[in-house]
Amino acid sequence: MYTLNVNGTTYQANVSDGATPLLWVLRDILGLTGTKYGCGIEVCGACTVLIDGQREHSCVYDVSSAAGKRIVTVEGLSPDNSHPVQQAWQGCQVPQCGYCQSGMIMAAAGAIQAGHRGPEILSEIKNLCVCGTYQRVRDAVQKL
Ligand code: FES
Ligand code: FES
């Protein structure tokens, strides 16, 4: 059993193997399916969450290491899509299929939280998008 603080709520997650990736605990046990699985090897960024304010790939982050830390997923970014990144993404209609976008948004939000501004934010986003939304991501970041 691991105590997880996700989006300000405390959960008791019944997980037998502490090496279980946080991604599967978020999705399959807590039902927070906004965080996506893409590659599982820290390449695509679809699984990006914030842990104690740092951007992390939840596909390779052990649940045992996440216990007791402050985890933020895309569901917890704002209660009403009012976070500046969400507003910029919406304004520029960034998503196409949408699959990668929660990871993109969390990467941008994490970059801002880390103190990056302007073009620096863009250089901090390494996420992959099969639909090729990169130009729209650039446009959205310019609004931040
Ligand atoms: S699923 Fe984690 S980086 Fe691709
Ligand atoms: S919007 Fe489809 S993969 Fe990025």
Same domain? For 8 and 63 the reply is yes
Do 101 and 71 fall within a single domain? no
Provide mean pLDDT across the span 46-72. Answer: 98
DSSP 4-25: EEETTEEEEE--S-TTSBHHHI
The position carrying tokens 């929660």 is 102
Domain containing 137: what range?
Answer: 84-142
Do residues 70 and 40 both lie within one domain?
yes
Residue 46 Cα to ligand 2 midpoint, Å, equals 10
Give pLDDT tens digits for 75-107.
999 999 999 999 999 999 999 999 999 999 999
Distance 54 CA to ligand 2 centre (A): 23
Residue that is last in its domain, among 38, 57, 76 = 76
Residue from 24, 35, 44, 127 to probe ligand 1 pocket by mutation (most atoms less than 8 Å from CB): 44
6 and 72 part of one domain? yes
pLDDT for residue 118 is more than 90: no
pLDDT band at 35 (very low <50, low <70, confident <90, very high): very high
Phi, psi values for residue 78, rounded to 5°? -160, 155
13: which 2 tokens?
Answer: 């997650």
Shared domain for 136 and 100, answered yes or no, is yes
Query: How far is Cα 108 from Cα 16, in angstroms, rounded to an integer?
Result: 33
Residues 12 and 69 in one domain: yes
**Cα 23 to averaged position of ligand 1 atoms, centre (Å):** 9
Q: Check which CATH number belongs to the domain holding 44 and give it.
A: 3.10.20.30
Instruction: Answer yes or no: do 104 and 72 share one domain.
Output: no
Q: Is the CB of 97 under 6 A from ligand 2?
A: yes
Give the nearest ligand 1 atom to 43 CA. 3
The whole-angstrom separation of Cα 33 and Cα 36 is: 7
Domain total of the chain = 2
CATH number of the domain that residue 114 is part of = 1.10.150.120
**Residue 58 in tokens:** 């939840």
49 and 95 housed in the same domain: no
Give me the residues paired with residue 49 across strands: 56
pLDDT reported for residue 128: 98
